[in-house]
Amino acid sequence: MSSVRVLVGTRKGAFIATSDGKRQKWNISGPFFAGWEIYHMKGSPIDPNRIYVSQTSSWFGQIIQRSDDGGKTWHQPGTPPGESKTTPEGMPRSESNKFVYDTSPETGKPLTTHQWYDGTQHPWEFKRVWHLEPSLTDPDTVYAGVEDAAMFRTNDGGKNWRELAGLRAAHGDKWMPGAGGLGLHTILLGPKNSGRIYIAISAAGAFRTDDDGKTWKPINRGLRSQYIPDPNAEIGHCVHRLAYHPSRPNTVFMQKHWDVLRTDDAGENWSEVSGNLPTDFGFVVDVNTHEPETIYVVPIKSDSEHFPLEGKLRVFRSKTGGNEWEPLTKGLPQENCFVNVLRDAMSVDSLDTCGIYFGTTGGQVYVSPDSGDSWMSIAEHLPAVLSVEVQTLA
Tell me, what CATH number does 299's domain have? 2.130.10.10
Does residue 85 form part of some domain? no
For residue 88, being part of any structural domain is answered with no
The number of domains in the chain is 1
Residue 247: burial class (beta carbons within 10 Å; 0-12, 13-18, 19+): exposed
Helix (H, G, I), strand (E, B) or coil at 106: helix
pLDDT for 23-75, tens place per residue? 999 999 999 999 999 999 999 999 999 999 999 998 888 999 999 999 999 99
What's the pLDDT score for residue 183? 96
Can you give the pLDDT at residue 293?
98
Among 126, 116, 177, which residue's Cα sits nearest to residue 151? Answer: 126
pLDDT band of residue 156 (cuts 50, 70, 90) is very high
Residue 155 forms part of a structural domain? yes
Residue type, 212: D
166 near 215, Cβ under 8 Å? yes
Q: 265 CB contacts (<8 Å, ≥6 apart)?
A: 250
210-227 burial: b if 16+ Cβ within 10 Å, else e: eeebeebebbbebbbbee
**DSSP code for 212:** T
H or E element: which one contains 297?
A: strand 295-297
Q: Amino acid identity of 133?
A: E
Enclosing domain of residue 268: 3-80+93-393
Q: Tell whether the model's pLDDT for residue 83 goes beyond 80.
A: no
Considering the domain boundaries, does residue 268 fall inside one? yes
Dihedral class, residue 346 (left if φ above 0, else alpha if ψ from -120 to 50, else beta): beta
Average pLDDT, the chain: 94
d(CA 247, CA 17): 28
Q: Is residue 87 part of a domain?
A: no
pLDDT for 1 beyond 80: no
Answer whether 157's CB lies under 8 Å from 140's CB. Answer: yes
Over range 120-127, report the average pLDDT. Answer: 94
Please give the average per-residue pLDDT across 348-371, as a whole number: 97
* Any domain includes 295: yes
Q: State the pLDDT at residue 111.
A: 84
